[in-house]
Amino acid sequence: MPSSAVSYAGQNHPRFLDELKSLLRIPSVSTLPEHKADCRRAAEMLMMELSHIGMENAHLIETDGHPLVYADWLHAPGKPTALVYGHYDVQPPDPLEEWLSPPFEPTERNGNVYARGAVDDKGQVWTQVKALESLLAADGSLPLNVRVLFEGEEEVGGEGIAAFVASRPPDLKADFALVSDTELFAPGLPTLCVGLRGMIYTEIEARGARTDLHSGQYGGAAPNPFVALAQILAQLKDEAGHILVPGFYDDIVPPSPEELAAWRNLPFDEEEYRMAEVGSRQLVGEPGYSVLERTWARPTLDIHGMPGGFIGAGAKTVIPAKATAKVSMRLVPGMTPTKSFGLYKSYVEKIAPPGVDVDVRLIHSGDACLVPVDNRYIQAATRALKEVWGRDTVFIRAGGSIPIVGDFARHLGLPSVMMGFGLPDDNLHAPNEKFNLQNFALGIQSLIRFLEEAGS
């Protein structure tokens, strides 16, 4: 039954998109200190918009990093309370030369809007804000109580929101969380995400000589920290993709046979995925596990960069005094960041070659999570999605991480409904990130209908 809020959203869609573009023009890159003020501007724009659409008590909550945005509307006695979550921070846009249009100048092309943050997560945050606006404008009220909490540090580990949630403030009292930061399994296929991997993001620093040295004068006698690091890194994973840290796999809770069977029924072709999404000669990873199992339910280890030494054009004959590597591991249910990091750190210290000192540092971490599906909010979500998309919902996991979702369960006792509208080829964290405009429109409709169903 098309609600009047859904009609309102349809009539106002061009304006919604223009407003989203204004949000996308703010380069709220959380990891880069030079964008600190931009992060605050994005937070302020959201706070003002929430207040403008009729949400109450809209304010910023300061953290040690970028501010949180809070607002609420609590005039539905006897109805449940939703905690609506998203993040306004984005990943750095580099490499800039690969963007077909500038990352912070949102541009429409073939039914998408292209910009850094288009889908991760400003576009999805805007679907939430515009769903709330549509309900408030069309009905003069919300069908349930709503608290909104947006953060600006999700892409850097989310420490500010984690501390706030762990303090269990009365402002976060709710019955469930609505998280819009995930994707559809395939275009047109309504999807709820029910599991996320956790992660530990680390840095290994190897130090050899007191200072940089001439590699001719000292080569053959002085330890080279890059060589040491390469030797360490080469022993973290074997050729089959198995992580070699002793004990790393011990506590994993595998998916149930039913969940695995459901994954086998998803429309997924590994060869198509290799060609169209990954674009590599072949896929890698542990033998005996499908791609979906390897990316959703198995831990993994990746190296992101090795800063240090000489990286300019041309040649420089130097033995650098130190070298670093950024290494992260994705964790799955059963594993904990604390134990996994401890095992990894001891192993790296043990295999470090003679002549170098290594420091193994944890930069940030987050737990893996599985959300319960046997609750009325998930049921309300599948009813709403069926109505808007005309198909039954599929339940999937994601290989990515949203650290706060586990904390919502642990500290606040909240089940999360992870209803997101990205697509697998939306180029998250990569050049030419996009958000499909049809998904933007249907996402707003889905959230409107979901909130109506959850409050019914």
Least separation, in Å, of the C-beta of 396 and ligand BES? 9
Question: Does residue 181 bind Mn ion (CB under 5 A)?
Answer: yes
Least separation, in Å, of the C-beta of 413 and Mn ion? 23
Question: Does residue 153 bind Mn ion (CB under 5 A)?
Answer: no
Stretch 267-286 residues interacting with Mn ion (CB under 5 A):
none
CB-based contacts of 443-446 (< 8 A; 24+ apart in sequence): 443/124, 443/127, 443/180, 444/9, 444/13, 444/16, 444/127, 444/130, 444/131, 444/134, 445/6, 445/9, 445/388, 446/190, 446/384, 446/385, 446/388, 446/389, 446/419, 446/421
Stretch 168-207 residues interacting with ligand BES (CB under 6 A):
181-183, 199
Q: Which stretch binds ligand BES (CB under 6 A): 150-158, 234-242, 332-340, 447-455?
A: 150-158
Least separation, in Å, of the C-beta of 27 and ligand BES? 16
Least separation, in Å, of the C-beta of 364 and ligand BES? 6
Question: Does residue 436 bind ligand BES (CB under 6 A)?
Answer: no
Least separation, in Å, of the C-beta of 310 and ligand BES? 29
Residue 205 site contact among Mn ion, ligand BES, none (CB < 5 to 8 Å, cut-off depends on kind):
none
Phi and psi at residue 22, to the nearest 5°: -65, -40
Binds Mn ion (CB under 5 A): choice among 120, 183, 293, 367:
120
Nearest-angstrom CA–CA distance, 355 and 207: 8
End-to-end CA distance of the chain: 14
Q: Which stretch binds Mn ion (CB under 5 A): 130-138, 164-172, 177-185, 330-338?
A: 177-185
Which of 58, 200 has the CB closer to ligand BES?
A: 200
Binds Mn ion (CB under 5 A): choice among 121, 259, 387, 453:
121
Binds ligand BES (CB under 6 A): choice among 67, 117, 157, 299:
157
Least separation, in Å, of the C-beta of 120 and Mn ion? 4
Binds ligand BES (CB under 6 A): choice among 81, 401, 427, 436:
401
Least separation, in Å, of the C-beta of 179 and Mn ion? 9
Report cis status (omega within 30 of 0) of the bond before 95.
yes
Question: Does residue 396 bind ligand BES (CB under 6 A)?
Answer: no
Number of amino acids touching Mn ion (CB under 5 A): 3
* Chain residue whose CB lies nearest ligand BES: 400
Q: Which stretch binds ligand BES (CB under 6 A): 20-28, 259-267, 400-408, 447-455?
A: 400-408
Which of 192, 232 has the CB closer to ligand BES?
A: 192
Name 73's bridge partners: 146
Of 323, 325, 326, which is closest to residue 310 (Cα–Cα)? 323
Least separation, in Å, of the C-beta of 117 and ligand BES? 10
Question: Does residue 423 bind ligand BES (CB under 6 A)?
Answer: no
Least separation, in Å, of the C-beta of 181 and Mn ion? 4
Q: Which residues bind Mn ion (CB under 5 A)?
A: 120-121, 181
Site residues, ligand BES (CB under 6 A): 120-121, 154-155, 157, 181-183, 199, 366, 398, 400-403, 428
